Amino acid sequence: MIRYMLRRGAEMLITLLVASFLVFLVTEFSPGNVARKTLGAFALQSQVDLLYEKLHLNDPLLVRYVRWAGVLTGLQADPLQDPALKLDFKDPRGDQYFGNFGYSTLYKAPVNDVLWDRLGNTALLAGLAFAVIVPLSLLLGVLAGMRAGTTLDRVVSTISIIMTSIPEFALGVILVAVFVVWLKLLPGTSPLKNNSGWPIWTQLILPVSVLALYDAGYVARIVRASMAEVMAKPYVRTAVLKGLPWRTVILRHALRNALIAPFTVILLQINWLIGGVVVTELVFAYPGFGRMLLDASLFGDVSLIEAATLIALFVATATQLLSDIGYRLLDPQARR
Q: Which parts of this chain interact with another protein (CB under 8 A)? A: 147, 149-150, 233-235, 237-245, 248, 252-253, 256-257, 260, 330-333
Report the nearest approach of another protein to the CB of residue 6 (Å): 20
Helix (H) or strand (E) holding 16: helix 2-28
C-beta closer to another protein: residue 8 or 233: 233
Report the nearest approach of another protein to the CB of residue 32 (Å): 51
Report the nearest approach of another protein to the CB of residue 258 (Å): 10
C-beta closer to another protein: residue 129 or 138: 138
Report the nearest approach of another protein to the CB of residue 315 (Å): 29
Taking the C-alpha atoms of residue 308 and residue 30, their distance in angstroms, rounded to an integer, is: 16
φ, ψ at 110 (rounded to 5°): -60, 145
C-beta closer to another protein: residue 195 or 333: 333
Residue 274 near residue 255 (C-beta atoms within 8 A): no
- Looking at residue 93, its amino acid is R
Report the nearest approach of another protein to the CB of residue 245 (Å): 7
Taking the C-alpha atoms of residue 4 and residue 6, their distance in angstroms, rounded to an integer, is: 5
283 C-beta neighbours (distance < 10 Å), count: 22
C-beta closer to another protein: residue 60 or 332: 332
Residue 141 near residue 220 (C-beta atoms within 8 A): yes
Report the nearest approach of another protein to the CB of residue 320 (Å): 22
C-beta closer to another protein: residue 193 or 252: 252
66 C-beta neighbours (distance < 10 Å), count: 14
- Nearest partner of 69 among 310, 312, 297, judged by Cα: 310
- Provide the Cα torsion 115, 118, 122, 123; round to 10°: 60
Helices then strands (H, E): number in the chain?
Answer: 14, 2
C-beta closer to another protein: residue 240 or 268: 240
